[in-house]
Structure 1
C-alpha cells in the first residue's frame, strides 16, 4: 500500500440538502434544528461525516448556491447559534460537518456586488468580471450560461456586462484579483476556527477560467490558485476537502488529489454520470450501457490506485435518484437499491450517501411542470419547448433527470408530507412516501437501511475494502459488474447483477472455492463458489475467499 492512511479513507459521508431534510418549525422548509433532531438516526446509520448543502444567507435564486453572506445563516434555516449547536451535537456523536462552499460566484445581493455595480471605479468593481458591449452594442461574446441563454448580463447603471456562468443572479468572482483570494481565504479560516470538518467546493474547476480564451474549466491558473488556497487555509489541518470538477479526467484528478501536490483530499468526477446523457446533454437521456459504465468506473479505480483518491457516489442534490437511474424503482426497488449500494461501497475510495438513498427513495414524476421548483429545470423546459421540443418529451426528460428528483422532502414516515413537515412543503413530497419511509425501514430487518448500515460497518472493519487492490472480472459482460479486492491478508470477491433477470456466469478457476465467507448479500448468503453461479434479478453479494 502506497497510501498514507487518513481518517477520511474509511469514512462514509452523508449529504444533507437542508431545505428538504426535516422541518422543525412548520414553515414547509427544512432547517438546522431539523437536522439536529435527526443526528441519532444518522449515528445509528453509522456515517461519520455530514456534508451540508449551503445554509448561508441567500436570496435562494438557486436554493442557496447564491450566497449573499458567507458568515451568516439563511433565516429559513435558522441562526448561527443553531449552526454552533449542530457542530457541537454532531461532535458528541463523532460526526464531522463539511460545509458546501461556493466561491466561483456570489449572489447579486452580496455586499461586494452591490458595491461593484455602483460605478466603474468602485473599489469592489474588480471583484467581478466585466466587459464592454460588443461593437454592435450586444453581448461581449458567445459565452453561454449553464442554466441556458447568454453568460453575460447587462448592467444599466454602468453600461457594462458582467459574467455569470450560472444564473444572472450569480455573478462570477474575479479570481485574478488578489483581494478576492484574500477575502475568501479569510472567510474559510473563520469557518475552520468554528470547528468544521472540511469543505465541499462547488464548481471549483471554474475559478481558473480565462474568459477571453473561452476557457472555463481547468484553466492554466486553476491549480496554482488551489495550492495557494491550501497553503492559506486548510493545508496544515486534518480536514476533508472535495472539489466538484465536472470535466476532470483521471490525469486531472491526480493533480487535485495527489497528497504531494497539496491541493484537495479528493474530487467529484462525473464521467460515469454523463454516460446516460446523449452528447452530455442531460435533457436527452439514453439507457445505461453497462460495459461502458464498468469501463469508466474501472478506469478510475485503476488510475487512482496509488496516486490520489476516489470519491464514490451515485447521486446528489443535482442528480436523479440512483435506484431510478441505475436500478429498478418498481418490482425490484429493494433488491436493486441494495445491489447498487454494494457495488459502490466495496470500491476503493470514500463513499457518499445522498439523503434518502439509504431507504431507497426514488425519482418523482410530477404531472405538471408547475410542480417543479428547480431553476435549471424550469429554464430548460421553457427554452426547449419554445424551440420545438414537444412538452411531453421534455417532461419525460424532466422526470428522468431533473435536479428536483433528489430534492423532494425526506420521507420519515407515512404521515402527511412523509413526516417532513406539518404544513405544505416548499416542493411536493413523492407520493410513494406511504410505503418508502424511514419508519418502515427501521422496522424491517431486511430493509435497504440495514444493508447500508452493514456496508458502513464492513468498511470500518475490513482494510481490504479501504486499501485493497482492484481487479475487474467479467469486464465485457453486459449484465454483471464483478470485481476482486485484495491485499496481503484477504481477497474479497464482489458480484452484482444489474439486470431484472437471472444471469448465469462461469467463475474463473482462481475464484472458485468450496467454502467462502459471505459478508453481505441481498438474497441468501453464498456458502461456496462453484464453476457456475446463477444470479437472481439484481442479486448482489460479497464473499471473502480463502487464501
Structure 2
C-alpha cells in the first residue's frame, strides 16, 4: 500500500447498474433520470464516487458492453442531456462520477466493424482480429468467455474474426496505432466533459498472443490475457490521456496475481491508479476464510509501498455477497454488516454494489426463460446440447448467474419494489417486501444504518486508508483479526465469520495489557465488553468489532 496521499485513494465507490436501479419512464428499464432522482439517497450513504455501468449506444446484446457508438447515449438510458445533467447534479452534491468504458471490443454493429467486414482490403480491415481458418475449422481451439469458440466465420469474406466474449462483440486490434488513437480520442471526449474516473473493462485482453496456435487446455482461457505488449499499451494510454487529467483509473484485470497485478498500479510505472483482481470473486466459489486471508496477505505484501488495490465481493458480474459469502437466511443482517466491515477496513478502495447496503440477496428464477444473462444462457444451451438434464443444468448454473445481482433495486414494498410502474426487464426478487430501502430507513439498526456509520468512519480515519496491515489470526478458519496502523493510530479489527460463538486469544500479551486501553470504535452488535487480562475475547456469530488502542 502506497502512503502517498491522493484523493482517489480516499474514495468510497458506489456502483449503479442503471438498468436495474430506477425507471422513470415506465418502460421497465432503469435510466439515467432514475439515477439523478436517487442522487440524494446515494449521497446520504457518504460515498464519494459514483460508478455507472456502460450507457453508450448499443444493441444491448451484453447489457451495454457491446458499444455501437462511443459518442452517443443508449436510448434505453436516455439522452446526452440526461448524462450532462447527471454529471452536473453529481458534482453539485460533492461526489465524483466514474464512467465504465469498453475498449477491448465493440459491437458488431459499430461502423468500424461494418467497414472492417465489408471486404478484405477495406482500410479498417486491420482494426479487428481476422484470421484464415485451418482445414475447414476455426484458426485455433480457443474458447471465449461466453462461447465454445472465440472465432466466428464471416462467410462474405471467408475469414474468421476473434471475439473474446459474445459473437456480437468482435475484439479490436490494439496492435494497430489507428485503433489506439481513436480510443484515446474517445476517452478525451468524455474526460473533457468532466468525468472524474474511468473503469476500464477487460483490460487484460488488449494484447493478443504472439502466435495463433492451439492451446493445450482450451478451457483455461488465461491465454487470452496478459500477452506481450499489454503494459506498453497502458503506458501509452497514460501518456496520451490519463496524465493530463485529475482522474481515478481502475482496470478490470482478469487473472491478475499479486506478482502481475502490481505491475498495473506501481506508481513508478505510470499505468493505472488501481485495479480489480478476481482471485476472490471469480476463483473462490464459496467462502473459504483461510484462502481469503492468504489472498489478502499476498496482495498487501505485493502492493506495500508501491500501489493501491480495490476491495469488493460482488458487482454486476457476481452473485450478491450476502448470499454467496455470508448467510442470507437467519444471519442475513449480521453477515451483511460483517462483510461490510471487512471490505471497508482491509487495505484498498471499497466498492459498494447497489442494494448491498440494504443486504439484498441473490435470486433464483424458476426457468431458464426468466434469465437474461447471455453467459449463463449460452452455457445452458451448450450443456443441454451435450445431453445434460435441463433441470440439473439450470440448478448448477443458478448460484453464480450474473442475474443474481442484476434483479432490480428494492426501494419500497409497493408493486415492483418501487423500481418501475411498467413491467420490469427482469423479474424482481420476491423478498422485496421484507428487504427494501424504505423499511431500512425506519430501523436504526438496519444494514443501511450500519453502512452509513462505516463510511463516515472511513471519511474521518486515515488509518483505514493508509494504514499498514498485519494479520494476527493465522489460519483460523472462522476468525479474521488484523491490525491497521498509521501515524501513531493503531486499530484492531475482529471478525467472526461463522454461525457459532468463537473465542479469540491474542498472540501477543502486550496487546491485551490494559495500558493500551482498547476503545470500541464500531461494532455490529450492541456490546460494551472488551478482552480480559488473559487476552481473550468472545465474538458472537457474524460479529465484527473495530477497536482503537489507546496508549
TM-score, normalized by the shorter chain, greater than 0.5: yes
Task: Tell me, yes or no, if the aligned pair for 2:373 and 2:402 is still in contact at 8 Å.
Answer: yes
Q: How does 1:129-278 map to 2 (within 5 A)?
A: 129-134=129-134, 136-210=135-209, 212-213=211-212, 215-277=223-285
Q: Which residue of 2 aligns with 1:419?
A: 418
Q: Which residue of 2 aligns with 1:31?
A: 31
CA distance in 1, matches of 2:284, 2:395: 14
What's the RMSD between the two structures over aligned residues? 1.3
CA distance in 1, matches of 2:242, 2:476: 43
Q: What is the CA distance between 1:378 and its match in structure 2?
A: 0.6
Q: Which residue of 1 aligns with 2:220?
A: none
Q: What is the CA distance between 1:527 and its match in structure 2?
A: 4.4
Instruction: Provide closer, same or farther for how the CA distance between residues 200 and 434 of structure 1 changes in structure 2, counting only shifts above 3 A.
Output: same
* 3-state DSSP of counterpart to 2:211: helix
Q: What is the CA distance between 1:392 and its match in structure 2?
A: 3.5
- Which deviates more from structure 2 when the two are superposed, residues 80-89 or residues 382-391? 382-391
Q: How does 1:101-112 map to 2 (within 5 A)?
A: 101-112=101-112
* 3-state DSSP of counterpart to 1:99: strand
Task: Tell me, yes or no, if the aligned pair for 1:333 and 1:360 is still in contact at 8 Å.
Answer: yes
Q: How does 1:396-407 map to 2 (within 5 A)?
A: 396-407=395-406
* 3-state DSSP of counterpart to 2:60: coil
* 3-state DSSP of counterpart to 1:137: coil
Q: Which residue of 2 aligns with 1:317?
A: 316
**Deviation readout 1:500-524 (Å, 9 max, x if unpaired):** 1111221232322544221111112
Task: Tell me, yes or no, if the aligned pair for 1:497 and 1:536 is still in contact at 8 Å.
Answer: yes
* 3-state DSSP of counterpart to 1:100: strand
**Deviation readout 1:3-26 (Å, 9 max, x if unpaired):** 321101111001111110100110
2:539 to 524, 535, 542: 535
* 3-state DSSP of counterpart to 2:160: strand
Task: Tell me, yes or no, if the aligned pair for 1:518 and 1:542 is still in contact at 8 Å.
Answer: yes
* 3-state DSSP of counterpart to 1:261: coil
CA distance in 2, matches of 1:430, 1:235: 43
Q: What is the CA distance between 1:67 and its match in structure 2?
A: 0.2
Task: Tell me, yes or no, if the aligned pair for 1:516 and 1:526 is still in contact at 8 Å.
Answer: no
Task: Tell me, yes or no, if the aligned pair for 1:511 and 1:529 is still in contact at 8 Å.
Answer: no
Q: How does 1:407-446 map to 2 (within 5 A)?
A: 407-446=406-445
**Deviation readout 1:107-166 (Å, 9 max, x if unpaired):** 0000000111111111111110101121x2221111211102111101111111100011
CA distance in 1, matches of 2:300, 2:193: 35
Q: What is the CA distance between 1:526 and its match in structure 2?
A: 4.0
Task: Tell me, yes or no, if the aligned pair for 1:245 and 1:267 is still in contact at 8 Å.
Answer: yes
Q: Which residue of 1 aligns with 2:218?
A: none
Instruction: Provide closer, same or farther for how the CA distance between residues 401 and 373 of structure 1 changes in structure 2, counting only shifts above 3 A.
Output: same
CA distance in 1, matches of 2:312, 2:283: 14
Q: Which residue of 2 aligns with 1:75?
A: 75
Task: Tell me, yes or no, if the aligned pair for 1:56 and 1:71 is still in contact at 8 Å.
Answer: yes
* 3-state DSSP of counterpart to 2:51: strand
Task: Tell me, yes or no, if the aligned pair for 1:319 and 1:403 is still in contact at 8 Å.
Answer: yes
Q: What is the CA distance between 1:395 and its match in structure 2?
A: 2.4
* 3-state DSSP of counterpart to 2:264: helix
CA distance in 1, matches of 2:284, 2:391: 20
CA distance in 1, matches of 2:389, 2:254: 29
Task: Tell me, yes or no, if the aligned pair for 2:2 and 2:303 is still in contact at 8 Å.
Answer: no
Q: What is the CA distance between 1:393 and its match in structure 2?
A: 3.3
Q: What is the CA distance between 1:2 and its match in structure 2?
A: 5.2
CA distance in 2, matches of 1:482, 1:399: 33
> What is the count of residue pairs matched by the alignment?
537
Task: Tell me, yes or no, if the aligned pair for 2:321 and 2:356 is still in contact at 8 Å.
Answer: yes
CA distance in 1, matches of 2:70, 2:504: 54
Q: Which residue of 2 aligns with 1:96?
A: 96
Q: Which residue of 2 aligns with 1:12?
A: 12
Task: Tell me, yes or no, if the aligned pair for 1:513 and 1:546 is still in contact at 8 Å.
Answer: no
CA distance in 2, matches of 1:391, 1:221: 43
* 3-state DSSP of counterpart to 2:282: helix
* 3-state DSSP of counterpart to 1:519: strand
**Deviation readout 1:355-384 (Å, 9 max, x if unpaired):** 100110000011111110010011111212
Q: What is the CA distance between 1:400 and its match in structure 2?
A: 1.1
* 3-state DSSP of counterpart to 2:469: strand
Structure 1: 4+ residue segments shifted above 4 A:
none
Q: What is the CA distance between 1:201 and its match in structure 2?
A: 0.5
Task: Tell me, yes or no, if the aligned pair for 1:275 and 1:293 is still in contact at 8 Å.
Answer: no
Instruction: Provide closer, same or farther for how the CA distance between residues 546 and 378 of structure 1 changes in structure 2, counting only shifts above 3 A.
Output: same
- Which deviates more from structure 2 when the two are superposed, residues 189-198 or residues 267-276? 267-276
Q: How does 1:282-431 map to 2 (within 5 A)?
A: 287-431=286-430
Q: Which residue of 2 aligns with 1:491?
A: 490
Q: Which residue of 2 aligns with 1:523?
A: 525
- Which deviates more from structure 2 when the two are superposed, residues 375-384 or residues 213-222? 213-222
TM-score of the two chains, using structure 1 as the length reference:
0.96
- Which deviates more from structure 2 when the two are superposed, residues 209-218 or residues 60-69? 209-218
Q: Is 2:40 the counterpart of 1:40?
A: yes
